[in-house]
Amino acid sequence: MKKYFSLVLFAHSVFALPFALIGFFLGVTSTNTPFNWLLFVLVLLCMVFARNAAMAFNRYLDRNIDAKNPRTVTRDIPAGKVSATEALTFVIVNCVLFVVTTAFINQMCLFLSPIALFVVLFYSYTKRFTALCHLVLGLGLALAPIGAYIAVTGVFHIVPLFYSFAVLFWVSGFDIIYALQDEDFDREQKLHSIPAALGIKNALRLSVVLHVLSALCVILPLFFATFSWVYYIGIAFFCSMLIYQHLLVKPNDISKVDRAFATTNGYASVIFAACFLIDTFLRTGFNAF
């Protein structure tokens, strides 16, 4: 199991999982649905299975590319820690488990499960033909809050969609920053990315625009639902982390990309989600439980 956790970088679940919790508890509290521990566990399992499948499939599909890139040559498949067959088997098992788990949630989740899997798996192909691959990655993670909300309610609603768009723009923006490391390599290998297409300076400018849109999306729920001062703290912290990562990475210095990518964005999602949940519990008096 340890080698599979290494394959899928389980720690990176910190990006989407907090927003899945936001969608779940938004569904519980906004519709006065009783909290259900079994449903909560099923949603968490769906998150794990979908992410495992997506990450392992990316590693499987990119194994030859990773072997040529000095930055990624030590990844599990090129390094021989996990075989390509093992990785593909892991993908298939997690896809099956994901669909089966959605069947225990509700009919809508089951019907939508193939679409969700298509989005998160299709991302791995996109760098081969479009520089918009970063947006496809963002879309895959953006399914977390709306998916968790549907798991609870069985219906769509505009407020969880704001959080999905927040994730879409946020992830797309920081993935562009992360891709700065491979600008030259992508051009040499004829791979597509925003940095390879626009250059570092313009790629960073686009990342700023996407992060401004993400900030707006976490603010917009204020006009559709009631929040306390705790949520405002969450917004302030989330936006400050967006600004901070752009202060870390500059066109003439991308040495702090890893810090901006993992640490800063990890704090952003966890603290923002914590503020949302604390705000929710304070306003509802923990009645959801």
Report all structural domains of the chain as residue ranges with CATH numbers, in order of start: 2-284 (1.10.357.140)
Query: What pLDDT, on the 0 to 100 scale, is given for residue 15?
Result: 81
Q: What is the DSSP string of 184-251?
A: HHHHHTT---HHHHH-HHHHHHHHHHHHHHHHHHHHGGGGTS---HHHHHHHHHHHHHHHHHHHH-BT
Query: What pLDDT, on the 0 to 100 scale, is given for residue 118?
Result: 96
pTM higher than the cut 0.85:
yes
Q: Around 1, how many Cα atoms within 13 Å sit in the side-chain half-sphere?
A: 1
Query: What pLDDT, on the 0 to 100 scale, is given for residue 101?
Result: 97
What whole-number distance in Å separates Cα of residue 128 and Cα of residue 139? 18
What whole-number distance in Å separates Cα of residue 49 and Cα of residue 92? 10
pLDDT in tens, 192-209: 999 999 999 999 999 999
Band (258; pLDDT cuts 50, 70, 90): confident
What whole-number distance in Å separates Cα of residue 57 and Cα of residue 75? 13
Q: What is the DSSP letter of 14?
A: G
